[in-house]
Amino acid sequence: MKKIAFMKFSGAGNDFIVVDNRERVVDSKRMMTFVSAVCRRHLSVGADGIIFIEKSRKYDFRWRFYNNDGGEASFCGNGARCAARFALLKRIAPKSMRFEGSSGVMEAEVNQEQVTVRVPDPTAIGLHLRVPIASTMRRKTDVPGAAPTVGEHGMVLEGHVIHTGVPHLVYFVPNTGTAEVIGIGRPTRYHELFKPAGTNVNFAQVIDRNTIEVRTYERGVEDETLACGSGSLAAALLAALVHKVESPVTVIPLSRMPLTVTFERKKDSFTNLTLTGEARAVYEGLMRPEAWEYSLR
């Protein structure tokens, strides 16, 4: 391979490498190992994931998103916004665009650093799910749910599930600052209830009728991230069902860079979902073969 051009983006704290792959500079058979190598922090460029922009016969472009473990995911809300900003900057698409991916067709509107994407309707909504977690006793403020069942061998937590392009479970907590994002998030992500694919795990605090705070343990990154677009969508919609939160919802992630979620609610279903926030173009350059070659030998 030759040097590969790329741009680095931050979408409300989620960082992504974006590559124009319309001419197949990265072969699809090598994407998994390429992604896992290039996303490794300290050893390569480093990112939460990589976005490949490809040709589309019907829309402005097609996008493919990979988490930093090399696994391809069907959707990433902040990634979609960064893909749209990249497409405008590289004159691949106009300010108002349509692009396709594994989760369907999305529309985007780019207004300088602010990008809005209209995303497919959510599915698989389930409320008040009991989740047994084998864990030691934690402080009351760390535990999701108003009255979790705590026993000798762990606890049973109350969570809520939704599919916003990818699966999410949301725990509502009294204080995101003391939430056990790793201690509870990791065993939940791999819980037998969500096999085989697993789930993303969000810890949400309702501030008022139009504001929530969210922290996320992200599947594929296998750690807490500074933000999660699909998780922001999931938390906002479930907060509307469980805590009567209303659109528009300002979502404050760990990065403190706000996202806005809008929707139309019809009883227990939602339509016309949008996600708005900053998609910051941080830098661009050329990756040399040392960025990935050690994993492709």
Catalytic residue ranges: 76, 228
DSSP tag of 65: E
Structure tokens at 107: 């529309």
Across 247-256, b (16+ Cβ under 10 Å) vs e yields bebbbbbbbe
Q: How many CB atoms lie within 10 A of CB 72?
A: 17
Number of residues that make up the chain: 297
What's the CA gap between 76 and 183, in Å, rounded? 24
Cβ neighbours, 10 Å, residue 39 = 25
The burial class, CB within 10 Å (0-12 / 13-18 / 19+), for 24 is: exposed
Q: If 0-12 CB within 10 Å is exposed, 13-18 middle and 19+ buried, where does residue 75 land?
A: buried
Please name the residues in contact with 61: beta carbons below 8 A apart, sequence gap of 6 or more.
Answer: 22, 53, 54, 55, 83, 87, 92, 93, 97, 99, 100
